[in-house]
Amino acid sequence: MRRATLILAPWAAIVALWYAIHYSGLVNPALIPTPHAVAARFMELARDRLPMDVWMSTRRVFIGVTLGIVAAVPVGFVLGWYRSMRDFIEPLVNFFRALPPIALIPLVIVYFGVDETAKVVILFYASFFSGVIVMYEGIAQISPIYVRVARTLGATDAEIFAKVIVPLTVPHILTAVRVALGVAWATLVASELIAAQQGLGALIQNASSFFQLDTIYVGIICIGLIALAMDLALRFATRRLVAWQDRIA
């Protein structure tokens, strides 16, 4: 009961504050729909377009993050393990990481058109560079003593890589996935500026054109809840896959 209370208390506080702002008179009530109005709009959309919007956005994020992490893991590993490569390439990585994906939309449209590929490219870009940063920072902090001990015990290079380096890399890979997911969901609306007809970003943009604030709230809340569910699933997987870390610590 105590744990459930701790989990639910912040959400209850947010809803209470939401109602308080709406009825306080400090803000025009028309600008802040009540939680029950947003819930009613959610039920309407759930019977109409919302399931497809959720599916399309989730699919785009999943594809973009998967491709981004698949590319980021080996690049991050090389940068983290080989200092000379890190000194050479790190400035380029930081340069491109600092570029907001929304600024690249005109170029993406020119090179990839306005189909699904363009949207996935934006999400891939955001996921890749965030994943690379997490990976190489994590790999660079791995203590070389593990490798030295393995060599002392007679392990070959292949055994060191498979039984020492890979297990030590798993926590950083999972962290990179979590960070990339967060960045991808934050970039979703920007990616769906590219002529998207379906998706939560498209839902929010269309609603803004008609001043449908309750629909905008529905889209924002859905993005947050899906991202939260994915993060919780990854945290659960992390506890299962790297339980050995607690014993080492």
Highest mean pLDDT among 148-152, 210-214, 235-239: 210-214
pLDDT at 246 over 60: no
Instruction: Quote the CA–CA distance of 217 and 35 in Å, as a whole number.
Output: 9
Instruction: Quote the CA–CA distance of 178 and 147 in Å, as a whole number.
Output: 27
pLDDT at 248 over 70: no
List C-alpha distances in Å: 201 to 57, 89, 223, 233, 246. Answer: 8, 34, 9, 23, 40
Contact 184, 57 (CB under 8 A): no
pLDDT of amino acid 51? 95
Mean pLDDT across the stretch 104-128?
90
pTM (predicted TM-score): 0.86
pLDDT of amino acid 17? 94
Look up tokens 């660079």; give the residue: 140
DSSP SS3 for 144: coil
pLDDT of amino acid 245? 62
The pLDDT > 70 percentage for the chain reads: 97
One-letter amino acid for residue 162 of the chain: A
Contact 113, 194 (CB under 8 A): no
Mean pLDDT across the stretch 194-199?
82
Q: Count, in order, helices (H) and strands (E) of the chain.
A: 12, 0
The pLDDT > 90 percentage for the chain reads: 38
pLDDT digits 0-9 by tens, 66-100: 999 999 988 888 888 777 787 788 888 888 888 88
Contact 129, 70 (CB under 8 A): no
Copy the structure tokens of residue 240: 């299962």
Contact 128, 68 (CB under 8 A): yes
pLDDT digits 0-9 by tens, 27-39: 888 899 999 999 9
Nearest to 185 by CA among 223, 221, 225: 223
pLDDT at 223 over 90: yes
User: Which of the four pLDDT bands, split at 50, 70 and 90, describes residue 244?
Assistant: low
Kindly tell me the sign of the dihedral angle through the C-alpha atoms of 160, 162, 166, 167. Answer: negative
pLDDT at 249 over 70: no
